[in-house]
């Protein structure tokens, strides 16, 4: 992942490809739009594999490397962003080894959280797969060794974010359960900072904020990702030759219901990969 890799892509219409299991990566896309509104984007949701967070490491690694291999071959992006903590913490290193294209991953925002916390107690909400990764242990050891990092895997929050973006009403008990589960850890009542370590969760930040109550700040990695994409593409030209595209690995009613959400994120075409 270097600037010279990106410079090799001469085509100004070459897109940035954002990849997630579902709609979570839209929380990253909106930050990318803020800083690079002129960038052509292809958003890929592997909804046939959703959710990743309850799968094994081997299943996720095989799925993500296989799909990204086929996607980059077919779509020739200038840069791939794995806008998914689960896929990044498990498969980023192996995907980087096999693909030529620069790859930006999603790292749980433990470092900024450690700088933010005043009580020294940080909550981390992710998928079950993410919270058990050595990647997270290493971030904790490097940046939060003098803090308490309390982790909770919350698959039902992934489903809640998907449902919300399809326009469905979600029972607020789902958010309350996640807050209670983190608070139930020893020292959990002192949490003042929560890392949203799943790209789906910034999409339900307002609901989580209500569930946690006042005095709790939330942080996720999307600003850092957007900055990294800007850095890796600096000096490159952009030309949008067609409306931006959302690709799904499976069609169906759930994709149809996402129409207005996708449009609101500037994804005017939808197709199945
Ligand atoms: N959005 C994904 C993440 O950031 C995972 C959701 C899932 O498929 O479980 O971890």
Of 199, 220, 237, 181, give the one whose Cα is nearest residue 82: 199
Co-location of 144 and 244 in the same domain: no
pLDDT at 230: 98
Gap between the Cα atoms of 183 and 186, Å rounded: 8
pLDDT at 10: 86
Co-location of 128 and 153 in the same domain: yes
Q: pLDDT digits over 191-248, tens only?
A: 999 999 999 999 999 999 999 999 999 999 999 999 999 999 999 999 999 999 999 9
**Token digits for 45?**
């949701």
Number of domains in the chain: 2
Gap between the Cα atoms of 248 and 255, Å rounded: 8
Gap between the Cα atoms of 209 and 215, Å rounded: 9
Q: Active-site residues: which are they?
A: 84, 198
Q: pLDDT digits over 14-45, tens only?
A: 999 999 999 999 999 999 999 999 999 999 99
| Residues at CB less than 6 angstroms from ligand 1 | 20-22, 24, 50-53, 84-86, 127, 130, 158, 198-200
pLDDT at 4: 41
Please tell me the distance between residue 239's alpha carbon and the centre of ligand 1 in angstroms.
Answer: 30
pLDDT at 9: 54
Instruction: Point out the domain boundary residue: 220, 248, 263.
Output: 220
Co-location of 86 and 56 in the same domain: yes
CATH number at residue 254: 3.40.50.1860
* pTM of structure: 0.95
Please tell me the distance between residue 107's alpha carbon and the centre of ligand 1 in angstroms.
Answer: 12
DSSP state of 204: G
Would the pLDDT of 48 be above 90? yes
Q: pLDDT digits over 91-120, tens only?
A: 999 999 999 999 999 999 999 999 999 999
- The CA-based dihedral angle spanning residues 218, 196, 201, 25, taken in that order and rounded to the nearest 10 degrees: 120
Co-location of 195 and 266 in the same domain: no
**Is residue 195 within 8 Å of residue 110, measured between CB atoms?**
yes
Co-location of 164 and 263 in the same domain: no
**Is residue 43 within 8 Å of residue 21, measured between CB atoms?**
no
- Closest ligand 1 atom to 106 CA: 4
**What range does the domain containing 187 cover?**
110-220
DSSP state of 202: G
Co-location of 202 and 234 in the same domain: no
């Amino acid at each position: 992942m270097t600037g010279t890799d990106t410079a090799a892509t001469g085509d100004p219409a070459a897109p940035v490809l954002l990849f997630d299991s579902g709609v979570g990566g839209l929380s990253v896309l909106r930050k990318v739009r803020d800083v690079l509104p002129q960038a052509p984007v292809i958003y890929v949701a592997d909804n046939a594999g959703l959710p990743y967070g309850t799968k094994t490491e081997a299943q996720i690694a095989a799925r993500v490397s296989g799909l990204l291999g086929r996607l980059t071959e077919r779509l020739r992006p200038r840069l791939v962003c794995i806008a998914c903590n689960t896929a990044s913490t498990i498969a980023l290193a192996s995907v980087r080894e096999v693909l030529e294209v620069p790859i930006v991953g999603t790292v749980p925002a433990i470092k900024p959280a450690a700088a933010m916390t005043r009580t020294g107690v940080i909550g981390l909400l992710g998928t079950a797969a993410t919270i058990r990764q050595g990647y997270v242990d290493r971030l904790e050891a490097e940046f939060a060794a003098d803090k308490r990092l309390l982790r909770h895997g919350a698959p039902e929050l992934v489903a809640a974010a998907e449902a919300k973006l399809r326009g469905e009403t979600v029972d607020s008990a789902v958010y309350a359960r996640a807050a209670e589960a983190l608070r139930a850890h020893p020292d959990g009542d002192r949490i003042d900072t929560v890392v949203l370590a799943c790209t789906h969760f910034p999409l339900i930040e307002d609901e989580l904020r209500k569930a946690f109550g006042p005095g709790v700040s939330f942080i996720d990695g999307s600003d850092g990702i957007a900055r990294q994409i800007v850095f890796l593409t600096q000096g490159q030209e952009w030309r949008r030759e067609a409306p931006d595209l959302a690709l799904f690995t499976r069609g169906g009613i759930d994709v149809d219901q996402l129409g207005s959400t996708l449009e609101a994120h500037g994804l005017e075409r939808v197709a199945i990969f």
